[in-house]
Each structure stands twice: as C-alpha cells, then as structure tokens.
Amino acid sequence: MTQVRFALAQIDTCVGDLDGNAEKIMQYAHKAAQAGAQVVVFPEMTLTGYPIEDLAFRATFRRAAWDKANWLATELASEGLSDAYVVLGTVGTDHASDKPRNRLVVLHDGVVQTAYDKHFLPNYGVFDEFRIFAAGDRAVVFDVDGVHLGVAICEDIWQDGGTVGELARRGIDMLLVINGSPYEEGKTHTRFDLAARRAKELSAPLLYVNQVGGQDDLVFDGGSFVVDSDGALLQRSPMFMESLGYVTLDTTRRNQRKEVVAPDLDPDEEVYTACVLGLQDYMAKNHFTGVCLGLSGGIDSALVATMAADACSGSNVWGVSMPSMYSSDGSKGDAADLARNLGAHYEIQPVEPLFDAYQRQLDLHGVAAENLQARIRGVIVMAYSNSHNLLALATGNKSELACGYSTIYGDAVGGYAPIKDLLKTRVWELARWRNRAAQSGMPVGALNIVGNEGGPRGRDSRAGVVIPVNSIVKPPSAELRPGQKDSDSLPQYALLDKVLAEYIEHAHGRADLLRDGFDAETVDTVMRLVDRAEWKRRQYPLGPKVTALAFGRDRRLPITNAFRE
C-alpha cells in the first residue's frame, strides 16, 4: 500500500505579474508541505496568469517566465522543499517553430523535472488559444513513490481522445488536471460530470484544480475538486476564494477517504458573488481603491452600488445623484436611502443648470435632448473619476445593452460594468436575494472573497434591507422625459428577456424564434434593436461574464450586417 498526499492550491494570480505569482506559489507550497502534502498542484498558467492573450507573442515575456520557473525550482529547493513535487502552469516555447505553448511543469529537486504541453487548444467562446499556442502531442506521466501520475491541462479533458486518451490506454494511478475555467451559471455541475466520466474511463481518480479570481471580463470561480475512480466526489474546495484543499491517494483503491467537501451555493449567491469578485479583482489588479457611479434611484445603479460596497466597502463608494427636471422625488429619496444603507458617499449634482447652458447654445429636441441629459451625467461621473482617481462604474444590464437602451458616452461611461451580463429579470432576483441575505443577518457567506487567509476583506456585514424596496418594485424608467417608462420602447422585461436568451445565447434566427412561440411583432422589434446596437456594445466597458454567452469576445458579430432573419 502506497499513500501520496496532494494539495489543491486554488489561487488568484495576476496576468503578467511573474514576481507576485511566484511569491504566492512559494507561500502556498510551504503551507502545503507543512501540512504533509508531497505533491502541490496549482492552476493552469499559474506563473503567468491566465489568459495571457497576445502577450504570448512577446518573446521577452516568454523568456522571463521561463527564467522565473527555473528560479522557483531552485528557490523551493533552497528553502527545504526539494522533496516536494510542485505542479504548475506557465508559457513555454516550442523550439522548432518558436511558437508559444501552454505548458505544465513539475518542479522537483531544484529543477524543472517534467514538462507537458496542452494538446487541445480551445478556440471558441471567449477562448483564442489556437491563435496563440502550438499544440503539444505527447502524453506525460511522472512517478511519485512508484505512483504513476498523469497530467492534463483544462481543455484536454473536454474533448475525447488526445493525450488523455493515450493515458487511459497506458494506465495511470491518478490524473492531475490544472485549469483556468471561467465561471458561468451552472458550469460547476458540467465540470463535475465531465471529470467523473473521465475518471471512470481512466479507472483512476482525477484531481481538478481551478484558478480563482477576476481577469478583465472573466471570473474564475475555483471550486476545485477530486473524484475517485468511480466518479464519486472525494473533496471540493469553496468557490470564489483562495484555498488549499487536500486529498490522500491510496493505491489500494476502494479505500479512498472522503475529505472536506464545500457546500453548494445558492444560485443567486453564486452569480452575485461572481460579479463582486470580478469587480474586486479588477480594482485590486489595476490599483483602484474606490469607485464612483451615478445613483438614479433605479434598480440597476442600486445593485451595482451594493456590489461595489461589498467589493471595496461602502466608504470607498462615491454615489452621485444627478436629478433632472424629470426625476421623481421618489427616485431621489431611494438613491439617498441606498447610499445611507451602504455607508457610501452621497453627492447631489443637479443636471438642470448644465442642461440649460447647453440648450441656450444648441436648442436640441427629441432624442438629442434626452441623450444630452445622460451625457451631462457621464461628464460629471468622469469628473469624479478624474478628480479622485476612482473607477467609474457603468450600470447597464444585459437587456439594456442588448437593445441599445442606453446613451453612449452618457450612462454607458465607465471602466467596468458589473452587471452587463445580467438580464433585467436577473437583476431583480439578485437584488431581492441581497436583501434577504442582509435581513437574515448572515455575513453574506461566500462574500468572504479572495484575501490570502480566506477572511472577509473590507466588508461590513449589514443587517436589514440594503436596497430600497421601492427601487425593486417600481416600474423601470430612464426618466429622460415626463412620465417615461421602459415599456414605452421595449417589450415587458419578462417577455423581452426570454426572447433575448434565445436570440443571443442560442443564436436563434427569426424563423426559430417564431417556432419558439414568440409573436412576430416582438421578434422583429427585438431583433432590430439588438442588431442596431452592436456599434454601441463595442464601445461599452468590460464586465464579468456570468452566463453561457456574454456580450464581448464571446459573441463576435459584425457591426455592418444587413441580415435581418
């Protein structure tokens, strides 16, 4: 009987930060070794951060990453960890073609002992790996105390055959899979089912380590886990926070001890936390400590402000109320209540004097006059951003973004857009969930996000309602003309969001949508609005992807496009 103890080092890296990432790898390797782990497994492209996109083409970057991997191997040995096997990801170079490789390395005994290059390169959805990497085609096994460990990188287990198929033929005692698998609703279960299937094919346990944290428009949820050779869950790490999990492999099979299994999250909590983590990491990695945004009293800005307070504490949130002549008293009161509940800065900047100054000069009417109000607000928000070095947040939701129901350079200004992948109906659901969480007095469980020790970072746990109920229940309005309602221009959101899900996520065309049971008038309205807004979406800020298909690099449609079916 041989036993090998593994650590799953689920960490949050930063793209390009070779020093910082190497430092964190050292810390986790030490901690894991102290806890008795012989093999410490990190996520895909740990050292470089992930995804590196076209940074892969910079030769100085590949050289620096390679030097850093060798430095790490030496440093681990000189700090007494030469016995440990440290499995991590980095960028390599294929010497024949001089092309970049997505590489896994095993550091042991002071050297890079083993290297494996990712075989299947994802080139769909948000992934462009066929663009930047050359594929490896050699399966790799390394031994620890006579135990045969196969390795794979993320996509390698999502497709049949390849190097993992080769490992199944050869026979291994365990498969170690390092991953950079971005979050989307429901993906946890998909990953688990896939891993269980592969484990059965391999007749060996499978250890799956995923990275955690935000990188531009992607959020990595962690949720690392281990399944045994029957596909049963042995271990699961928590989602949305750094963690070190452990599992012991016992080669007398059927004898695997179950380790800590983190509980499932509520689906609303999961999505909410993904948005908060995306924002939090964007701020941390781009050196912002505070945010500013317009507070209209509506649900979108209320949810974004609440997420921001959860990401960086209310005291770092600047909410600016910018009432116009068409703003209702209720809206102004709701904005003030929200800021008070969050402990956020609250400033009032009326739009009317500025609007009048423009109108004396320009005399605008109709949509031009409506947009003017929104653009004055955009200028004010950016003035706060410039003056106080704050990250400006855009508050648009996915339904709005889809239909172009926003003013470019107006309410669309910002460096980050936390809810851009949430349909309006989902915005309401998350707002209600956030209030329930506050009312139940729970310290908003999974919100204990990143922070090396897994503890809460700069967040106050509040009791009672956070988001004013009125912001949730009132009919949505842009308040750019008297009595305006979203439903004047758009189908009701309950219907609109269903059409959008089919048209956008499933690429259903007109005939398909009619077959889905939607009426022709609604279908034609929605398709026309979505198609015409493509140019605006291209200029919209980044925001976290949380669904199967987000706007941005996930959906690449031409702006110039005459097809209407």
Q: Which residues are catalytic?
A: 44, 118, 154
**Beta sheet of 225-227, edge-to-edge order:** 141-144, 147-153, 174-179, 206-210, 225-227, 233-236
Q: What is the β-pairing status of strands 317-321 and 345-348?
A: parallel
Structure tokens at 190: 């998909």
- Which of residues 10, 93, 210, 215 is near its own copies by CB under 8 A? 215
- Which of residues 147, 274, 372, 422 is near its own copies by CB under 8 A? 372
SS3 383: helix
224 is a site residue for its own copies (CB under 8 A): no
**In degrees to the nearest 10, what's the CA dihedral of 479, 412, 240, 90?**
170
Determine contact, residues 104/151, Cβ cutoff 8 Å.
yes
Structure tokens at 407: 């003013």
Residue 273 CA from chain centroid, whole number = 10
- Which of residues 3, 5, 16, 429 is near its own copies by CB under 8 A? 16
- Which of residues 3, 5, 17, 148 is near its own copies by CB under 8 A? 17
User: If DSSP states are collapsed to H, E and C, what string results for 255-281?
Assistant: CCCCCCECCCCCHHHHHHHHHHHHHHH
**Residue 357 vs 469, nearer CB to its own copies:** 357
Residue 257 CA from chain centroid, whole number = 32
Q: Which of residues 238-297 bind its own copies (CB under 8 A)?
A: 281-282, 285-286
Q: Considering the complex, what minimum distance in angstroms separates the CB of residue 479 from its own copies?
A: 19
d(CA 336, CA 319): 9
Q: Which of residues 38-67 bind its own copies (CB under 8 A)?
A: 49, 51-55, 57-61, 64
d(CA 506, CA 439): 37
**Residue 177 vs 392, nearer CB to its own copies:** 392
Stretch that binds its own copies, among 15-23, 147-155, 175-183, 440-448 (CB under 8 A): 15-23
Q: Considering the complex, what minimum distance in angstroms separates the CB of residue 217 from its own copies?
A: 9
Q: Which of residues 544-563 bind its own copies (CB under 8 A)?
A: 555-563
Q: Considering the complex, what minimum distance in angstroms separates the CB of residue 402 from its own copies?
A: 15
Stretch that binds its own copies, among 297-305, 345-353, 442-450, 474-482 (CB under 8 A): 345-353
Determine contact, residues 113/72, Cβ cutoff 8 Å.
no
Q: Which of residues 105-124 bind its own copies (CB under 8 A)?
A: 123-124
Q: Which of residues 172-191 bind its own copies (CB under 8 A)?
A: none
d(CA 275, CA 45): 23
**Residue 494 vs 562, nearer CB to its own copies:** 562
380 is a site residue for its own copies (CB under 8 A): yes
The residue type of 154 is C
d(CA 308, CA 291): 7
158 is a site residue for its own copies (CB under 8 A): no
For the chain, what percentages of helix, strand and coil (3-state, to nearest 5) are there? 40, 20, 40
**Residue 462 vs 508, nearer CB to its own copies:** 508
β-sheet bridge partners, residue 257: none
- Which of residues 34, 97, 252, 361 is near its own copies by CB under 8 A? 361
Determine contact, residues 144/39, Cβ cutoff 8 Å.
yes
**Residue 232 vs 368, nearer CB to its own copies:** 368
Q: Which of residues 500-529 bind its own copies (CB under 8 A)?
A: 507-512
d(CA 332, CA 378): 18
- Which of residues 135, 409, 456, 484 is near its own copies by CB under 8 A? 409
Stretch that binds its own copies, among 13-21, 142-150, 257-265, 469-477 (CB under 8 A): 13-21
**Residue 31 vs 510, nearer CB to its own copies:** 510
**Residue 15 vs 261, nearer CB to its own copies:** 15
Stretch that binds its own copies, among 226-234, 289-297, 305-313, 373-381 (CB under 8 A): 373-381
99 is a site residue for its own copies (CB under 8 A): no
d(CA 411, CA 408): 7
Stretch that binds its own copies, among 175-183, 395-403, 406-414, 427-435 (CB under 8 A): 406-414
- Which of residues 367, 463, 469, 520 is near its own copies by CB under 8 A? 367
Stretch that binds its own copies, among 16-24, 85-93, 236-244, 251-259 (CB under 8 A): 16-24
Question: What residues contact residue 431 under an 8 Å CB cut-off, 6+ apart?
Answer: 299, 302, 303, 306, 467, 471, 472
β-sheet bridge partners, residue 10: 243
97 is a site residue for its own copies (CB under 8 A): no
- Nearest C-alpha neighbor of 324 from the set 362, 359, 361, 363: 359
